[in-house]
Amino acid sequence: MRILQLHSDFMEYEPVQKEIPEGEDAQKQKVREEEVVVLFTTFERGDDPKVVRRAVDEVKSSLEKMGAKKLLIYPYSHLSADLASPGQALELSKLLEKYSIEEGFEVHRAPFGWTKAFNIKIKGHPLAEQSKSFRAGEAKLTRKEMKKQYLVLTPSGKEFSPQERLPKVSDDFTALVEKEALGVEARGGQPKFLDYCKKFGIEWEPMSDIGHMRYQPQANLLFELISEYSNQIVYSLGIPVFRVRGTNMFNLDIPAVKQHADLFGGRLYELNIDDRSLVMRYAACHQQFAIVKDWQISYKHLPFGAFEVADSYRHEQSGELLLSFRVRKLHMPDLHIFCKDLEESQKIFKDIHMRIFEEIQKLGRDYEILINLTSRQFFDENKKFLLDLLKPVKKPALIAFYPPGVDYYWVINIEYHITDELGRPREIGTVQIDTGNAQRFGIRYTDAEGRERFPVIIHTALIGTLERYLYVLLDSAARAERARKVPTLPLWLSPTQVRLIPISEKQMPSVKKITSKIAANQIRADIDDRSETLSKKVRDAETQWVPYIAVVGEKEQKSQRLSVRIREQGLLRKMKWESLVSEIQKKAKGYPFKPLPMPLLVSQRPAFGG
């Protein structure tokens, strides 16, 4: 950012011609300002609000020395060849005006994007003409560290300080309080689930930036099934849901995009292409809001949801990356529910809250709750609403109050944490009530009186990102193994659900027929036809977590009963293939299905890398 600062007796200008589409509306008439400090201002590539803040602080210091109180901001693109995009420059120019007004100056701003004729008379004192330059990263902002305040709220309505000894709380909740409110570092160690990732082909991509994952055939099946399940959950909520799809790059010259990006923080991937600054999306918000703003919505249409499994990008710190948990490219099953008002949003919010708990409990796990609030006032006015969230799940919550002045778009943001195999809290699911983005993006609906209003928006990823849901599955297996139980995947997610092992070549025709009949019932069944010993084939199937291992020899052919080893229970049962099918269908009922991701015959599969 470059400024030519001129203390003037007067400045007179006249807009002549609008030069660019981003140009502001203006009248073609002369404007004259007396006794004014003129800021000829050029914004450069990479400039941001921090740069503008520093510029205002420097200009303020100069004006105090001169005893001046009046500013004219004059957009001027001729002080640099490395220009910011027009949209970005316009937003920063408005921000320069805003910050200057906040400092108590009388501020005027010439229209942006116009050719203008001007006449100026500069005062003759030593400080009248000054040149200033500001670059991003040259100095740190002198902002206070954002310090949250915490309390613990019980389902009965009692409030405790996090430092107090809390009655009748779980070790998992204590771990959450210690980590978030007391700053106690969780213990380290190599988590067991990483061994399972290798088993199923869940890996970092070594030919990419670290933080980007790849999926071998079995892992890809898991990913696709979880993705389909996230769709299934959304469509079962009982409200209309519209599935949309779009791009993963958005133009920072669009004010709404830039403002939302600024709220997100410093973990953005930004690209400069064709003199445009683009941001890689970090959730589905931009795309869904960009679509919904173009809809003609009546109060009769509300509530409704927009949904996409969105590839999202977050530049996480390299030291924090953890395969399948903290990654730089993630997939967010992002649902936004548009509601008439805060009251309607709170009612739906309660249903979402319970569904989030229901889904984690299907996996044999439970959540601890961290509720982020933007003000103590919201807590005091909505304490009954908060208790309505805690009572059904019979759990306390850790409440975090953000300090005054933090401009978040949400008023409540709940994080749902599991405690991992090593005793560390891990955030999985989320839900928020958003009161700011509808106006920011221009999303409107017409109420019963014909007035235009802005909806309240619920944001949620019911099962967390696809990667984190997969992480929960594998961490659950690690916890089971630590408890001396058999580590497993849920049956509906097991890459091979039934493996048939012929004792000899003589059984192959019969085994193929049985396998075909089983597979016809939407069950993933394969055949280990390799020339290995029976014990090795069974051991390999166990190692690959195949839930049902059926051995077929002459005895089984004659009796038409399979010898089925049930891995999780460690049992051996004699079963007809029809009974096996019935048992699997019963256990997998209500979950999505996809066919076997590899050839039917194990002998036809290469040794996958990883």
What local confidence, expressed as pLDDT, does residue 101 receive?
94
| Topology of the domain covering 2-133 | D-tyrosyl-trna(Tyr) Deacylase; Chain: A; (3.50.80)
Q: Percent of the chain, pLDDT > 90?
A: 77
Adjacent-strand bridge partners of 33: 11
Q: pLDDT category, 265, cuts 50, 70, 90?
A: low
The pairing of beta strand 456-461 with beta strand 329-339:
antiparallel
Determine the Cα–Cα distance for residues 284 and 308; give it in Å rounded to an integer.
7
What local confidence, expressed as pLDDT, does residue 459 receive?
97
CATH 3.40.50.800 at 493-604, yes or no: yes
The pLDDT tens digits of the residues spanning 514-523 come to: 999 999 999 9
The pLDDT tens digits of the residues spanning 556-566 come to: 988 999 999 99
What local confidence, expressed as pLDDT, does residue 405 receive?
65
Determine phi and psi for 451, rounding to 5 degrees. -90, 150
Are residues 337 and 292 in contact, defined by beta-carbon separation less than 8 angstroms? no
Q: Which of 105-114, 277-286, 479-488 has the lowest mean pLDDT?
A: 277-286
Is residue 185's pLDDT more than 80? no
Global pTM value: 0.79
Is residue 610's pLDDT more than 70? no
Determine phi and psi for 597, rounding to 5 degrees. -85, 5
407 vs 69 pLDDT, higher one: 69
Number of residues that this document lists for the chain: 610
Using DSSP's 3-state secondary structure scheme, residue 412 falls into strand
Determine the Cα–Cα distance for residues 413 and 221; give it in Å rounded to an integer.
32
The pLDDT tens digits of the residues spanning 477-489 come to: 999 999 999 999 9
Residue environment code for 115-129, b if the CB has 16+ CB neighbours within 10 A, otherwise e: ebeeebeeeeeeeee
Adjacent-strand bridge partners of 372: 400, 413
Are residues 267 and 282 in contact, defined by beta-carbon separation less than 8 angstroms? yes
82 vs 307 pLDDT, higher one: 307
Determine the Cα–Cα distance for residues 564 and 596; give it in Å rounded to an integer.
20
Determine the Cα–Cα distance for residues 314 and 321; give it in Å rounded to an integer.
11
Cα distances (Å, whole numbers) of residue 603 to 503, 524, 543 = 15, 17, 17
Is residue 411's pLDDT more than 60? yes
Contacts of 266 (CB under 8 A, 6+ apart): none
Q: Which of 35-39, 63-67, 310-314, 349-353 has the lowest mean pLDDT?
A: 63-67
- CATH superfamily ID and name for 149-244+284-475: Bira Bifunctional Protein; Domain 2 (3.30.930.10)
What local confidence, expressed as pLDDT, does residue 138 receive?
47
Listing DSSP states for 32-44 in one string gives EEEEEEEEEEE-B
Is residue 131's pLDDT more than 90? no
Q: Which of 38, 30, 39, 37 is nearest to 12 (CA)?
A: 30
Tokens of 482: 């630590």
Is residue 263's pLDDT more than 80? no
Q: Which of 136-140, 176-180, 285-289, 378-382 has the lowest mean pLDDT?
A: 136-140
Determine the Cα–Cα distance for residues 359 and 463; give it in Å rounded to an integer.
7
User: What residues does each domain of the chain span?
Assistant: 2-133, 149-244+284-475, 493-604
Alpha helices in 67-161 (DSSP H): 86-102
The pairing of beta strand 106-109 with beta strand 70-75:
parallel
Q: Which of 256, 252, 322, 311 is nearest to 289 (CA)?
A: 256
Q: What is the mean pLDDT of the chain?
A: 92
Contacts of 215 (CB under 8 A, 6+ apart): 201, 202, 203, 222, 223
Fold matches, 2-133 and 149-244+284-475: no
How is residue 601 annotated by DSSP? B
The pLDDT tens digits of the residues spanning 594-606 come to: 999 999 999 999 9
